[in-house]
């Protein structure tokens, strides 16, 4: 505005200066000669008057032009003003619809969503607002109806598929979620949301083969970290192998398990199944080699048990030799020491078992598994009172998440489809293998099958009036002294 005032002031000043410069004496004479009398005239005017008249004429023309332009633009401005008012009302209706949905007021959310559709005159936008308001208020049926209507418009089709896939996944309609997310992921390489929903739905529906294909596509599109994808793939291959095995398709099960091992040689569930199948096919040497290789990097209780199962037909001497060979693959590992203690118990050498266990029992925390082994050892050493202490500790000691406590007639990883589904995400994200029996709180199997001597072992002595009882024995007794005493007893027996 200021620049216009300045321009007008400058113009007026220039005009005033021009009039002063011309003065009153300067005149202009206009003469017309014509045969027609009414066209003949002679007019005398001062230059000052001429300048002022011309200036006013130009200004008048500008004013007239502006007025005509105003009249021409007036209908558009009126329409635009009404549109702005309508848009403002539409925005207020959108805001109210979403707020009402967030508050859970279903009827208000519907009412404001309907008003929004009426105001904006845009079916796609109105449907999106209605769908979001329905979702916010928890009205899944209305949300599905609105998203379904959006499928007809190409502009909103992908948004509709996303909304429908999310709704169906939350409602447990896994085939529906797979259908909509699969179509979206097939058409759009950038639809990361489609991978998340599609993969989750496929795993939840136990479609291992489909999940493997989706995972491979996600890796190529860089929608998932390669390390996470690799771990998920290993679990999916193992789940697929287990599915084939349950269906009696042993060859497919073996191939899938070996493929999983090729990508993760120390993944115990795949190893356990592969070695079981190989052993049944007479390829015991190959199965043992796989376990020995895995033991070098990641010893696992299930592998030791599978290894022992393969040696069931061998003589005790050969079994002991083979077990020692397995332990030598990683002699300082905790699992190797436990295997030695278990083997010693199974061969009746409780003194050696205690010598191996004692360093582990001095390390915190002492798990229920170790307490059970200590109980077995003390029982076979005829120390009923000390055995009772370890039995009490086993009841409250922490369990080991990865300990495969085999059932006598069961397999190392007797996973259900739900267990595999959980493992896809838990192991896939962190690489931590947790046995499902640990998560479900299932009863733990004894660390060593009780022998006849163990079953016949005398119970803890009855507490006498002046006897403080077995609970009074301190857990911090010097295990080294106990070991020396036991070794002395062993020498005396010799």
Show the 3-state SS of the chain: CHHHHHHHHHHHHHHHHHHHHHCCCCEEEEEECCCCHHHCEEEEEEHHHHHHHHHHHHHHHHHHHHHHHHHHHHHHHHHHHHHHHHHHHHHHHHHHHHHHHHHCCHHHHHHHHHHHHHHHCCHHHHHHHHHHHHHHCCCHHHHHHHHHHHCCCHHHHHHHHHHHHHHHHHCCCHHHHHHHHHHHHHHCCCCHHHHHHHHHHHHHCCCHHHHHHHHHHHHHCCCCCHHHHHHHHHHHHHHHHHHHHHCCCHHHHHHHHHHHHHHCCCCHHHHHHHHHHHHHCCCHHHHHHHHHHHHHHCCCHHHHHHHHHHCCCCCHHHHHHHHHHHHCCCCCCHHHHHHHHHHHHHCCCHHHHHHHHHHHHCCCCCCHHHHHHHHHHHHHCCCHHHHHHHHHHHHHCCCCCCCCCCCCCCCCCCCCHHHHHHHHHHHHHHCCCCCHHHHHCCCCCCCCCCCHHHHCCCCCCCCCCCCCCHHHCCCCCCHHHHHHHHHHHHHHHC
What is the predicted pLDDT for the residue at 116? 64
What is the predicted pLDDT for the residue at 448? 42
What is the predicted pLDDT for the residue at 461? 39
Q: Is the pTM of this model over 0.75?
A: no
pLDDT band for position 40 (cuts 50, 70, 90): low
**What is the mean predicted confidence (pLDDT) over 150-167?**
86
464 versus 314: the higher-pLDDT residue is: 314
**What is the mean predicted confidence (pLDDT) over 63-74?**
77
279 versus 403: the higher-pLDDT residue is: 279
pLDDT band for position 152 (cuts 50, 70, 90): confident
pLDDT band for position 211 (cuts 50, 70, 90): very high
d(CA 158, CA 181): 9
Strongest mean pLDDT among 189-198, 303-312, 481-490: 189-198
**What is the mean predicted confidence (pLDDT) over 77-91?**
59
The answer, yes or no, to whether residue 458 has pLDDT greater than 50, is no
What is the predicted pLDDT for the residue at 212? 96
Instruction: Take residue 151 and report the two structure tokens written for it.
Output: 């499928």
d(CA 259, CA 77): 72
What is the predicted pLDDT for the residue at 58? 76
What is the predicted pLDDT for the residue at 120? 62
CA neighbours closer than 13 Å in the CB half-sphere of residue 493: 9
The mean-pLDDT minimum among 37-46, 102-111, 323-332, 376-385 falls in: 102-111
Q: What is the rounded average pLDDT for all residues in the chain? A: 78
The answer, yes or no, to whether residue 46 has pLDDT greater than 50, is yes
**What is the mean predicted confidence (pLDDT) over 126-144?**
76
What is the predicted pLDDT for the residue at 261? 94
pLDDT band for position 232 (cuts 50, 70, 90): very high
**Percentage of residues in the chain having pLDDT higher than 90:** 34
For the stretch 177-203, pLDDT in tens is 999 999 999 988 888 999 999 999 999
44 beta partners: 29
398 versus 459: the higher-pLDDT residue is: 398
**What is the mean predicted confidence (pLDDT) over 417-441?**
82
The answer, yes or no, to whether residue 1 has pLDDT greater than 90, is no
The answer, yes or no, to whether residue 484 has pLDDT greater than 60, is no
42 beta partners: 31
Q: Own/partner pairs for 197-200, CB < 8 Å, 24+ apart?
A: 197/162, 197/165, 197/166, 197/169, 198/165, 200/169
The mean-pLDDT minimum among 58-67, 207-216, 358-367 falls in: 58-67
The answer, yes or no, to whether residue 314 has pLDDT greater than 60, is yes
What is the predicted pLDDT for the residue at 59? 80
Would residue 71 be called left, alpha or beta, if left means φ above 0 and alpha means ψ between -120 and 50 degrees? alpha
d(CA 422, CA 245): 20
What is the predicted pLDDT for the residue at 37? 58
What is the predicted pLDDT for the residue at 476? 41
What sign has the CA pseudo-torsion 345, 351, 353, 354? positive
Pairing of strands 27-32, 41-46: antiparallel
What is the predicted pLDDT for the residue at 239? 95
**What is the mean predicted confidence (pLDDT) over 240-261?**
94
**CA 482 remoteness from chain centre:** 51
The answer, yes or no, to whether residue 442 has pLDDT greater than 80, is no
45 beta partners: 28
pLDDT band for position 463 (cuts 50, 70, 90): very low
136 versus 37: the higher-pLDDT residue is: 136
80 versus 435: the higher-pLDDT residue is: 435
The mean-pLDDT minimum among 30-34, 288-292, 318-322 falls in: 30-34
Evaluate the omega torsion of the peptide bond into residue 365 and state whether it is cis, within 30 degrees of 0: yes
466 CB neighbour count, 10 Å cutoff: 5
**What is the mean predicted confidence (pLDDT) over 424-434?**
87
The answer, yes or no, to whether residue 175 has pLDDT greater than 90, is yes
154 versus 217: the higher-pLDDT residue is: 217
The answer, yes or no, to whether residue 86 has pLDDT greater than 80, is no
Closest CA to 482 of 388, 334, 353: 353
Q: Are 85 and 95 in contact (CB under 8 A)?
A: no
The mean-pLDDT minimum among 61-65, 309-313, 401-405, 426-430 falls in: 401-405
**What is the mean predicted confidence (pLDDT) over 173-179?**
94
Cα–Cα–Cα angle for 328, 332, 337, nearest 5°?
A: 80
pLDDT band for position 134 (cuts 50, 70, 90): confident
d(CA 9, CA 19): 15
Instruction: Take residue 229 and report the two structure tokens written for it.
Output: 């994808």
């Amino acid at each position: 505005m200021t620049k216009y005032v300045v321009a007008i002031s400058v113009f007026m000043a220039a005009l005033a200066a021009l009039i002063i410069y011309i003065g009153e004496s300067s005149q202009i004479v206009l003469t017309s000669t014509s045969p027609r009398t009414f066209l003949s005239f002679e007019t005398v005017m001062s230059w000052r008057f001429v300048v002022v008249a011309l200036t006013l004429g130009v200004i008048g023309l500008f004013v007239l032009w502006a007025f005509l332009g105003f009249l021409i633009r007036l209908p558009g401005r009126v329409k635009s003003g009404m549109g702005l008012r309508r848009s403002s009302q539409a925005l207020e209706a959108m805001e109210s619809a979403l707020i009402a949905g967030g508050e859970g007021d279903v009827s208000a959310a519907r009412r404001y969503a309907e008003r929004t559709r009426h105001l904006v005159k845009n079916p796609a936008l109105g449907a999106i607002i209605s769908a979001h308001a329905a979702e916010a208020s928890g009205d899944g049926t209305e949300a599905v109806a609105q998203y379904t209507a959006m499928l007809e418009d190409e502009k909103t089709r992908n948004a509709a598929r996303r909304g429908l896939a999310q709704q169906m996944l939350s409602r447990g309609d896994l085939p529906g979620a797979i259908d909509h997310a699969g179509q979206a992921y097939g058409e759009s390489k950038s639809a990361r949301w489609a991978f998340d929903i599609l993969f989750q739905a496929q795993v939840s529906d136990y479609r291992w083969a489909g999940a493997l294909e989706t995972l491979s596509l996600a890796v190529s599109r860089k929608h998932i970290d390669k390390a996470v994808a690799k771990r998920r793939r290993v679990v999916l291959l193992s789940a697929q192998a287990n599915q084939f095995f349950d269906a009696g398709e042993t060859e497919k099960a073996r191939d899938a398990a070996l493929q999983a091992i090729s990508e993760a040689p120390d993944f115990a569930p795949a190893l356990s199944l592969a070695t079981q199948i190989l052993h049944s096919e007479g390829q015991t040497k190959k199965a043992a080699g796989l376990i020995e290789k895995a033991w070098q990097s990641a010893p696992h209780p299930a592998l030791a048990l599978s290894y022992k199962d393969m040696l069931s037909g061998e003589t005790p001497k050969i079994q002991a030799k083979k077990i020692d060979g397995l332990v030598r693959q990683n002699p300082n590992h905790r699992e190797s020491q436990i295997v030695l203690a278990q083997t010693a118990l199974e061969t009746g050498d409780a003194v050696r078992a205690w010598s191996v266990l004692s360093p582990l029992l001095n390390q915190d925390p002492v798990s229920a598994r170790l307490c059970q082994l200590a109980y077995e050892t003390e029982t076979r050493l005829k120390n009923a009172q000390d055995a009772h202490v370890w039995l009490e500790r086993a009841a409250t000691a922490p369990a080991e998440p990865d300990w495969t406590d085999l059932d006598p007639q069961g397999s190392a990883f007797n996973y259900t489809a739900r267990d595999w589904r959980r493992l896809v995400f838990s192991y896939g994200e962190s690489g931590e293998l947790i046995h499902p029996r640990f998560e479900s709180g299932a009863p733990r199997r004894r660390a060593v099958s009780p022998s006849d001597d163990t079953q016949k072992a005398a119970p803890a002595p009855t507490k006498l009036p002046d006897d403080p009882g077995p609970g009074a024995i301190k857990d911090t007794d010097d295990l080294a002294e106990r070991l020396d005493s036991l070794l002395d007893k062993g020498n005396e027996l010799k």
